[in-house]
Amino acid sequence: DWTSDVFIDATVEELKSRIGGDKVVMGLSGGVDSSVAATLIHKAIGSNLYCVFVDNGLLRKNEFEEVLHSYKDMGLNVIGVDAKQRFYDALEGLTDPEAKRKAIGRVFIEVFDDESNKLEGVKWLGQGTIYPDVIESVSVKGPSATIKSHHNVGGLPDFMKLSVVEPLNTLFKDEVREVGRALEIPETIVGRHPFPGPGLAIRILGDITADKVKTLQEVDYIFIQGLKDHGLYDQVWQAGAILLPIQSVGVMGDERTYERVVALRAVGSVDGMTADWIHLPYEFLGKISNEIINRVKGVNRVVYDISSKPPATIEWE
Ligand code: XMP
């Protein structure tokens, strides 16, 4: 029978004998998978694991600082890289979802390559690949912005010369969470909703600007914090807000407004392949809508997405 303790002991032993005294470099995303994989490798080889956490400017509000802090608390050897402007520059003027994904993937490789080249004598690349990623290594919408599916984007970067180590590639998400809890990784990381590699870039329909990111971060923060405060976060598989490329008429005091519309999305799912929209309480939705419109400048309308997958997808792009 599978238990997380048996898995951890066996995996750490295996990693020790496979990697020996070599150095491993690994990109962290703040998500469950890469965090659990890094913790296992760290348990096996300690400070020979070098982690890189890139701020692509497309993360949730405060996420980079908070997660970087958690990683340091967990004893990981982690370098935080502020690459926001590099990503914004690469995204400038791009509106097509696949073009945005490709640009993000390309810049991620460049940044990661720059960082790994600063380290001497690295032989391995650690990855948080889980079993479902192995079966469908390229998503329906194209390559995901994790390193694993970047093989088909442009030339091979230097770190691709490294041998790959993927300690979670036989596990499902719920097993990864169980292992994470057994390893005492903070619940804020282990219980975290999935978040796409291209981040908020695929939740801002159309072109990306730093201003739009800021607006969406505020909206998303109110929604996610609201779910947590009302005990709804753990009943939802994934949630987020989408900034729509339209404006609508509203009224504020005696003034006519013409401002942005945001959509809220919350789904239940097992693996993201199919998903149902969640029937969040009307009172909750009403409260969150008011809060968003009152507090986020430039937004005067909130809608709730009631489509399931299929035929809709979870993300809008
Ligand atoms: P869809 O929108 O295809 O999303 O129903 C299914 C799951 O995949 C995530 N997703 C991505 N993850 N890179 C990623 O790493 C991507 O390009 C990407 N596109 C979608 C989405 O958030 C959901 O969990």
The model's pLDDT over 87-121, given as tens digits with 9 standing for 90+, comes to 999 999 999 999 999 999 999 999 999 999 999 99
In the prediction, which pLDDT does 156 show? 63
194 in contact with ligand 1, CB cutoff 6 A: yes
In angstroms, what is the span from residue 303 Cα to ligand 1's centroid? 21
List the helix and strand counts (H, then E) for the chain: 10, 9
139 in contact with ligand 1, CB cutoff 6 A: yes
| 12 shares a domain with 74 | yes
Residue with CA closest to ligand 1 atom 10? 196
The model's pLDDT over 259-274, given as tens digits with 9 standing for 90+, comes to 999 999 999 999 899 9
Rounded-to-integer distance, Cα 76 and Cα 217, Å: 27
In angstroms, what is the span from residue 22 Cα to ligand 1's centroid? 33
| 171 shares a domain with 106 | yes
In the prediction, which pLDDT does 137 show? 58
In the prediction, which pLDDT does 245 show? 97
Can you give the residue range of the structural domain that contains 224?
Answer: 203-304
146 in contact with ligand 1, CB cutoff 6 A: yes
Q: Is residue 132 part of a domain?
A: yes
ipTM for this prediction: 0.99
| 230 shares a domain with 126 | no
In the prediction, which pLDDT does 132 show? 85
The mean per-residue pLDDT over the stretch 275-288 comes to 98
Instruction: Pick the last residue of a domain from 190, 217, 246.
Output: 190
| 280 shares a domain with 142 | no
Rounded-to-integer distance, Cα 25 and Cα 35, Å: 13
- Give the DSSP H/E element, type plus range, for residue 108: helix 97-117
Query: Angle 4-19/32-45 helices, nearest 10 degrees?
Result: 60
128 in contact with ligand 1, CB cutoff 6 A: no
| 34 shares a domain with 135 | yes
Instruction: Pick the last residue of a domain from 158, 190, 222.
Output: 190
| 163 shares a domain with 109 | yes
| 211 shares a domain with 160 | no
Of residues 49 and 161, the one with the higher pLDDT is: 49
Q: 146 pLDDT exceeds 60? A: no
CATH code for the domain in which residue 8 is found: 3.40.50.620
Residue with CA closest to ligand 1 atom 21? 196
As for how many domains the chain has, the answer is: 2
In angstroms, what is the span from residue 315 Cα to ligand 1's centroid? 6
